[in-house]
């Protein structure tokens, strides 16, 4: 069906694996699902699968104010800086709290995506995976929510648009939750296409209405209990034709693995085989239109075993192994 995917860009070099120890310092409390062990689970699975030595590990830099304020107003960044506690926690909302290590983690998380863009766009890596936390796709331009503070992927997209002057960039989001923040930030920017699936009705209870003036925002809500067949049908009949028409110059993936059937955060039925399958299709799109330029950014995924296996399956495809 998708014969147009056969022509592939020849990718050389090692996939960049971008992370930082500061991302382990963010802690929202005992028992909180968005925990430091998430990153440890991914690394452990990569090592157990003998994938880690095939990656180019890169230390995430701190994001700069200039990079942040392309998508977040300065007053919002200053608000988070002012809220950062020296001890204890500062609660942004019932689900989202700052600890003494949160600000540094968030700065590294956003900086990781900027670094990924630079590596990929300057041919220093064929593609990249950002193993970071806190996640970002719920963070709106001036609002923290859903475990998110800075919208990491939006910061990276804005960097690609501003520095590398791309005219068409695509964001693909397969997290179990709608990426409301990414949508809010780019809703009026025709240079950005966003395609997504997510469980609905479900937090953040958005994504099922027209997204304003940008015809490039395409949300496909899925009901609880949807599984592999439902997801793959959306990818084949909605996402891929749209991406083919748009012909993006760079791809970004909001890689949330919480739609896995073992993840209690949601009620979806995907498996690591589905994440591997969709990644393979997205890599082919990147090879066809973007000279392979693809940056994947960790979002959700809270069952540690399922997260590790899913991320490893995803990274295996990125690495062409």
Distance CA 103, CA 91 (A): 13
Query: 256: closest CA among 319, 314, 321, 170?
Result: 314
Distance CA 296, CA 203 (A): 22
Instruction: Mention every residue, 6+ apart, whose C-beta is less than 8 A from residue 182.
Output: 137, 151, 153, 154, 171, 173, 194, 254
Number of C-beta neighbours around residue 66 at 10 A? 9
Among the options 137, 138, 200, 314, which is catalytic? 138
Query: Is 26 among the catalytic positions?
Result: no
CB 133 within 8 A of CB 36: yes
Instruction: Mention every residue, 6+ apart, whose C-beta is less than 8 A from residue 210.
Output: none
CB 276 within 8 A of CB 253: no
CB 297 within 8 A of CB 14: no
Q: Which long-range contacts (CB under 8 A, 24 or more apart) does 276-282 make?
A: 276/313, 276/314, 276/316, 276/317, 277/232, 278/174, 278/231, 278/232, 278/235, 279/253, 279/313, 279/314, 279/317, 279/318, 280/317, 281/2, 281/5, 281/235, 281/240, 282/172, 282/251, 282/253
Annotated catalytic residues are 138
């Amino acid at each position: 069906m998708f014969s147009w995917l056969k022509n592939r860009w020849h990718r050389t070099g090692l996939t960049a694996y971008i992370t930082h120890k500061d991302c382990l310092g963010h802690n929202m409390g005992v028992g909180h699902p968005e925990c430091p062990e998430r990153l440890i689970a991914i690394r452990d699975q990569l090592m157990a699968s003998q994938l880690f030595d095939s990656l180019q590990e890169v230390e995430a830099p701190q994001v700069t104010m200039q990079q942040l304020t392309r998508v977040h107003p300065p007053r919002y960044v200053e608000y988070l800086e002012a809220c950062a506690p020296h001890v204890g926690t500062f609660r942004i909302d019932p689900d989202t709290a700052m600890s003494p290590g949160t600000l540094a983690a968030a700065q590294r998380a956003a900086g990781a995506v900027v670094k990924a863009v630079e590596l990929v766009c300057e041919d220093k890596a064929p593609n990249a995976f950002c193993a970071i936390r806190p996640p970002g796709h719920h963070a709106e331009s001036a609002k923290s929510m859903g475990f998110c503070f800075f919208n990491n992927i939006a910061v990276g997209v804005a960097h690609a648009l501003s520095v590398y002057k791309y005219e068409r960039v695509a964001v693909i989001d397969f997290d179990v939750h709608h990426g409301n923040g990414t949508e809010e930030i780019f809703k009026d920017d025709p240079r950005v296409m966003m395609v997504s699936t997510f469980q609905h009705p479900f937090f953040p209870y958005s994504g099922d209405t027209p997204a304003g003036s940008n015809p490039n925002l395409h949300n496909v809500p899925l009901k609880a209990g949807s599984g592999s067949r439902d997801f793959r049908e959306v990818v084949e009949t909605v996402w891929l034709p749209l991406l083919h028409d748009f012909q993006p110059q760079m791809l970004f993936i909001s890689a949330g693995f919480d739609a896995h059937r073992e993840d209690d955060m949601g009620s979806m039925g995907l498996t690591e085989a589905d994440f591997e399958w969709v990644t393979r299709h997205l890599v082919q799109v990147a090879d066809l239109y973007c000279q392979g330029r693809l940056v994947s950014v960790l979002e959700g995924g809270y069952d540690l075993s399922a997260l590790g296996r899913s991320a490893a399956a995803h990274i295996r495809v990125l690495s062409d192994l």
